Amino acid sequence: MHNPELLSEEKVFKDPVHRYVHVRERLIWDLINASEFQRLRRIKQLGTSYLTFHGGEHSRFNHSLGVYEIMRRILETFEGRIQLSREEKLLCLCAALLHDVGHGPFSHSFEKVFRFHHEDWTRAIITGETEINRILRRMGDGFPQKVAEVIAKTYENKLIVSLISSQIDADRMDYLLRDAYYTGVNYGNFDIERILRLMRPHEDGIVIKFSGMHAVEDYIMSRYQMYWQVYFHPVTRSAEVVLRKVFQRAKDLFQAGYSFRVEPVQLLPFLREEITLADYLALDESVVFYYLHQWKAEQDPILKDLSSRFLDRKLFKYVECTPKDFRLIADLQKLFLEAGIDPSYYLEVDSTSDLPYDFYRPGEDEERIPIMLLMPSGEIVELSRKSEIVESISGKRRFDYKLYFPLEKVLALPEGLRQAICERLGVVKDADGSCQDHPSD
């Protein structure tokens, strides 16, 4: 390992959330300039959310820089309170910067269909034959592995791991503020300055001084609101369903030996499920959009229709429906088949749920590390024992289910079938011929 070098002058990035992102370490500057990191500029942080919140077009590049900046400030707060070596500090900064480097375009939809996890690619990019790996190795041959372990939560120093992933960590704090800013909603705001100022290292994790409890309450409530108002928005989920069906149709056609009008060369490794690191790194949103445009002109009517729906935002409509309605869903599947609408691509139950905050109950094998408060007496107390607001939502899981379908295809069916399907969907037809289900825009 050679001594990590400092830049001759501090570099700064203007950032709408943190005002400035400060870089002084040569290692960090070079990582930012690595091609694998620059690729994140071409991957949206919020996937399909831009179809609901038009401002939500920020990239994973922005977010990764933001997480790095928060980590840098946490380390400043810890100065003089805990002994971390220069190498350990750089480990924290590199892990923060690179935690999402393995994300691909539209991860939620893409990974489900092509059966891989971006976390595995994050590890592969950090430890494999890449520019990022070569830069990290300047710190020693074992350094990339350590960075990968911090991100995968298998690193032995739990304090360092908890700074990247716990119920109050650099990642979450940045994405809540950033996503709120770009989508234009008010919910995600909380006083990050205060939280960072009152954060203290303690044994295997971090604690927040009791005087910062109200700022933490605000953070928990922001998280709750952002999940339900932004991340789980039914229109965003509709776009995800449509995109998932596009990929599924392309995969099914490929496996059936279909001859594409334009061979999807850059997607072939994914369709074959034989993906190399180079294949993965060559994929970004521009590639996906290119093929969506090509597929819009395909012979196959399903692929053509689904691709057009995504590009032109002609999404599926929805009604409330839970997996408990499985008999009704089976009925609908039959009716869709009868109507010539393939339910494998045009009928989907999407479920989502969130747990805003959870605490550790003694004696249970729970996996979530709770947020701990440092009391003036020096005692450490779990957050929900002091905060009534947090207590009221602790451990409370909320679920939401929607059944997605192409309303206009249903309405175009002959009267008998249309009526049978609409009755089951609970869709009401207006006198003017339009159909009112939900105001889903």
**Interface positions with another protein (CB under 8 A):** 112, 117, 119, 152-154, 156, 322-324, 326-327, 329-330, 333, 343, 347-349, 351, 353, 355, 361-365, 367, 369, 397, 399
| Spatial CB neighbours of 232, under 8 Å, sequence gap ≥ 6 | 352, 354, 400
Cβ proximity to another protein, 40 vs 369, nearer residue? 369
Rounded to the nearest whole angstrom, what is the least distance from the CB of residue 40 to another protein in the complex?
A: 20
Cβ proximity to another protein, 19 vs 397, nearer residue? 397
Rounded Cα distance between 335 and 234, Å, is 24
Rounded Cα distance between 292 and 268, Å, is 14
Rounded to the nearest whole angstrom, what is the least distance from the CB of residue 192 to another protein in the complex?
A: 24
- 285 within 8 A of 58, measured Cβ to Cβ: no
Rounded Cα distance between 51 and 109, Å, is 15
Task: Determine the 3-state secondary structure of 361 from DSSP.
Answer: coil
Cβ proximity to another protein, 180 vs 241, nearer residue? 241
Cβ proximity to another protein, 22 vs 398, nearer residue? 398
* Burial class of residue 83 in the structure, from the number of CB atoms within 10 Å of its CB (0-12 exposed, 13-18 middle, 19+ buried): exposed
Cβ proximity to another protein, 152 vs 381, nearer residue? 152
| Spatial CB neighbours of 220, under 8 Å, sequence gap ≥ 6 | 356, 357, 389, 390, 393
Neighbours of 57 (CB within 10 A): 13
Cβ proximity to another protein, 25 vs 169, nearer residue? 169
Rounded Cα distance between 392 and 161, Å, is 28
Phi–psi pair at 88, nearest 5 degrees: -65, -40
Rounded to the nearest whole angstrom, what is the least distance from the CB of residue 328 to another protein in the complex?
A: 11
Q: Where are the beta strands (DSSP E) in 232-371?
A: 317-320, 348-354
Cβ proximity to another protein, 355 vs 420, nearer residue? 355
Rounded to the nearest whole angstrom, what is the least distance from the CB of residue 265 to another protein in the complex?
A: 28
Rounded to the nearest whole angstrom, what is the least distance from the CB of residue 57 to another protein in the complex?
A: 26
Rounded to the nearest whole angstrom, what is the least distance from the CB of residue 342 to another protein in the complex?
A: 12
Rounded to the nearest whole angstrom, what is the least distance from the CB of residue 165 to another protein in the complex?
A: 8
Question: Which H or E element spans position 39?
Answer: none
